[in-house]
């Protein structure tokens, strides 16, 4: 069993339990020990996989995982012809939150923002793009639906108390995938929408067309 190159751990442990049931025979004892060891290895692999794709502060996807998800979803939508949009946003003047209330308060704001993002997401994937910047990948959503989602999120953040006694707002940019887009060009276009929102006074979401 152990020499099989295509055995997965779950199936191998099942076979060990079936072929070597509980008993005092030395082979059964060794089989149980191997099974317990494999269980620990499985747990470690699961933890490493989670860690590799999760932002430790906000508990949502990190930049590395988002890159992979975005590329995969763009390929899938290109094949089916389904729409795909992205929303990128960041917290307005977030540095002042850290400066005035401390980095622990800033971390709480980031975590709560991630919770709001997850709770409002209709379908798709969300993650921390970096710093106070977040990205939502919305397969099946056209630009109007993505913009509507962005507005719901903006309103939710603007009315969230955040326990710091100060209003926090976000600015965002929305872009829809078009033929010939790469992950970089799509996010880059949404990023330009984000900067337009900032330049227009913040606390708004801007659609950037191709």
Distance between CA 52 and CA 70 in Å, rounded? 16
> Residue 189: which of 158, 152, 146, 125 has the closest Cα?
146
The crossing angle, in degrees rounded to 10, of helices 26-53 and 63-80 is 80
Helix (H) / strand (E) element for 85: namely strand 84-91
Selecting among 71, 132, 145, 148, the annotated active-site residue is 132
DSSP string over 19-30:
HS-SSSSHHHHH
What is the Cα–Cα distance from 183 to 48, expressed in whole angstroms? Answer: 26
Q: Is residue 132 flagged as an active site residue?
A: yes
Q: Report the alpha-carbon distance of residue 150 to residue 193 in Å, rounded.
A: 12
List the catalytic residues: 132
């Amino acid at each position: 069993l152990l020499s099989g190159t295509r055995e997965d751990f779950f199936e191998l442990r099942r076979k060990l339990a079936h072929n070597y049931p509980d008993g005092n025979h030395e082979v059964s004892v060794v089989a149980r020990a191997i099974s317990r060891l494999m269980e620990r290895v499985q747990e470690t692999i699961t933890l490493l996989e989670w860690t590799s794709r999760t932002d430790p502060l906000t508990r949502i996807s990190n930049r590395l995982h988002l890159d992979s998800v975005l590329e995969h979803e763009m390929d899938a939508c290109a094949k089916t012809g389904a729409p795909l949009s992205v929303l990128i946003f960041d917290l307005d003047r977030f540095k002042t939150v850290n400066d005035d209330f401390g980095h622990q308060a800033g971390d709480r704001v980031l975590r709560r923002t991630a919770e709001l993002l997850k709770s409002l997401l209709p379908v798709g994937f969300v993650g921390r793009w970096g710093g106070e910047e977040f990205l939502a990948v919305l397969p099946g959503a056209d630009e109007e639906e993505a913009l509507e989602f962005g507005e719901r999120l903006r309103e939710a953040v603007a009315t969230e108390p955040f326990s710091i006694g100060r209003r926090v707002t976000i600015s965002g940019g929305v872009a829809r995938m078009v033929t010939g887009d790469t992950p970089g060009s799509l996010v880059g276009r949404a990023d330009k929408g984000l900067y337009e929102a900032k330049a227009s006074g913040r606390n708004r979401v801007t659609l950037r067309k191709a």
